[in-house]
Homo-oligomer: A and B are copies of this chain.
């Protein structure tokens, strides 16, 4: 590993993961003249045709991770499911891995994450340390729920591996006890959610912080995958300030370096509760590419490379929709009605370049800029109804 403080130019960023977040970060890195190396198991992953080198290997493989850190000036994640223990060892040896893998350890197990929030006094929903998957019969589950005095509805959450709505199950009645997630889990109280919001922010080594305006997230009915993002969020100023304040205190407590996304609930009583922490650039920050002075991807690079953080000023309101693989299609992707995107004033098309589509897979996204946020929402709804990712 190159130890020079000044990472420029031609210094090398190493990414754990080569998916769409890595690709978008690589695009910003390339614009600014950095070299990029990524580690990913898939030789055709989205970053594959715009990184300087792709190490093909498991994100858990020690040799591959070692190769990555040896070749990079600073290593970061685009996905947090990696070999945290080995990265901790490397971090302790002085390799420049940002944010610290010790933060991943807190975040990757959602029960540990929740307990961290609670023990540090951050507002979040109540939990029960009860693993329903340990009970093989629905009748046993029924009894233990009664013993704990848990009332319906409530939420079962997988401790690990949850992503894009996988690993979250809302039990509305006793009948749902038949359909629980069959893996290590805990229980969260059900929160009466008025809005889901996300606060994106960046922190550097010196403790400087830049916060983006909170965004509003609307999730797809079929699951917990982000369907539409609205920025700025349509919530009161006082709630926004409270949300930003919570996010700042949390990233300070974590001693985080880089971009973090803090997903939050605004309850029907206008409480602001932390839902989940993402220790990286995030789907809820894609609108920053076109609508903010500094995109989340550039911001993350600045933070981990010890450059001054950038302005989070949003010059134009924005709406973002994810393009998910249509149900019933697998194979080489085709974009239906792409022309509608190009015919929409202020619309930006992003296609990640995944070689295969699958139902509900994130294949791309569209960001729409418009001075009038309600008009942007209408454009987004229209494009959502027209633009489909199918397969030939």
Residues of A within 8 A of B (CB): 8-10, 23-24, 27, 30-33, 35, 49-52, 293, 302, 307-311, 313, 315-316, 332-335, 338-339, 342-343, 345-346, 348-353, 364, 369
Would you call A342 and B302 a contact (CB within 8 A)?
yes
Task: Name the residue among A31, A342, A348 with the largest chain B CB count within 10 angstroms.
Answer: A31
Would you call B352 and A33 a contact (CB within 8 A)?
yes
CB contact between A338 and one of B8, B51, B311 (< 8 Å): that residue:
B8
Would you call A307 and B339 a contact (CB within 8 A)?
yes
Number of identical protomers: 2
With contacts A50-B50, A313-B345 taken as known, whether A350 is within 8 angstroms of B307 at the C-beta atoms is no
CA distance A31 to B50 in the complex (A): 10
Q: How near does chain B come to A328, taking the closest CB pair, in angstroms? A: 19
Name which residue of chain B comes closest to A353, CB basis: B33
Q: How near does chain B come to A234, taking the closest CB pair, in angstroms? A: 21
With contacts A308-B339, A338-B8 taken as known, whether A32 is within 8 angstroms of B345 at the C-beta atoms is no
Would you call A9 and B351 a contact (CB within 8 A)?
yes
CA distance A246 to B302 in the complex (A): 43
Would you call B311 and A33 a contact (CB within 8 A)?
no
Would you call A27 and B35 a contact (CB within 8 A)?
no
CA distance A335 to B8 in the complex (A): 8
With contacts A308-B339, A315-B315, A342-B302 taken as known, whether A293 is within 8 angstroms of B27 at the C-beta atoms is no
Name which residue of chain B comes closest to A24, CB basis: B31
CA distance A125 to B2 in the complex (A): 56
Q: How near does chain B come to A288, taking the closest CB pair, in angstroms? A: 12
CB contact between A293 and one of B335, B339, B345 (< 8 Å): that residue:
B345
CA distance A359 to B334 in the complex (A): 47
Name which residue of chain B comes closest to A291, CB basis: B315
CB contact between A30 and one of B50, B342, B343 (< 8 Å): that residue:
B50
5 smallest beta-carbon distances between A and B, as pairs: A33-B351, A50-B50, A308-B342, A311-B345, A307-B342
Q: How near does chain B come to A52, taking the closest CB pair, in angstroms? A: 5
Q: Which residues does chain B contribute within 8 Å of A349, judged by CB atoms? A: 31-32
Would you call B353 and A30 a contact (CB within 8 A)?
yes
CA distance A33 to B354 in the complex (A): 9
Would you call A364 and B33 a contact (CB within 8 A)?
yes
Name which residue of chain B comes closest to A346, CB basis: B293
CB contact between A350 and one of B27, B32, B316, B353 (< 8 Å): that residue:
B32
CA distance A293 to B346 in the complex (A): 5
CA distance A321 to B349 in the complex (A): 28
CA distance A193 to B10 in the complex (A): 41
Q: How near does chain B come to A27, taking the closest CB pair, in angstroms? A: 6
Name which residue of chain B comes closest to A306, CB basis: B339
CA distance A274 to B70 in the complex (A): 55
Q: How near does chain B come to A2, taking the closest CB pair, in angstroms? A: 14
With contacts A9-B351, A338-B8 taken as known, whether A308 is within 8 angstroms of B343 at the C-beta atoms is yes
Q: Which residues does chain B contribute within 8 Å of A24, judged by CB atoms? A: 31
Q: Which residues does chain B contribute within 8 Å of A348, judged by CB atoms? A: 31
Q: Which residues does chain B contribute within 8 Å of A10, judged by CB atoms? A: 332, 353
With contacts A313-B346, A315-B369, A316-B315 taken as known, whether A333 is within 8 angstroms of B30 at the C-beta atoms is no
Q: How near does chain B come to A78, taking the closest CB pair, in angstroms? A: 16
Would you call A310 and B49 a contact (CB within 8 A)?
no
CA distance A311 to B352 in the complex (A): 23
Q: Which residues does chain B contribute within 8 Å of A346, judged by CB atoms? A: 293, 311, 313
Would you call A293 and B32 a contact (CB within 8 A)?
no
Q: Which residues does chain B contribute within 8 Å of A27, judged by CB atoms? A: 27, 30-31
Q: How near does chain B come to A263, taking the closest CB pair, in angstroms? A: 25
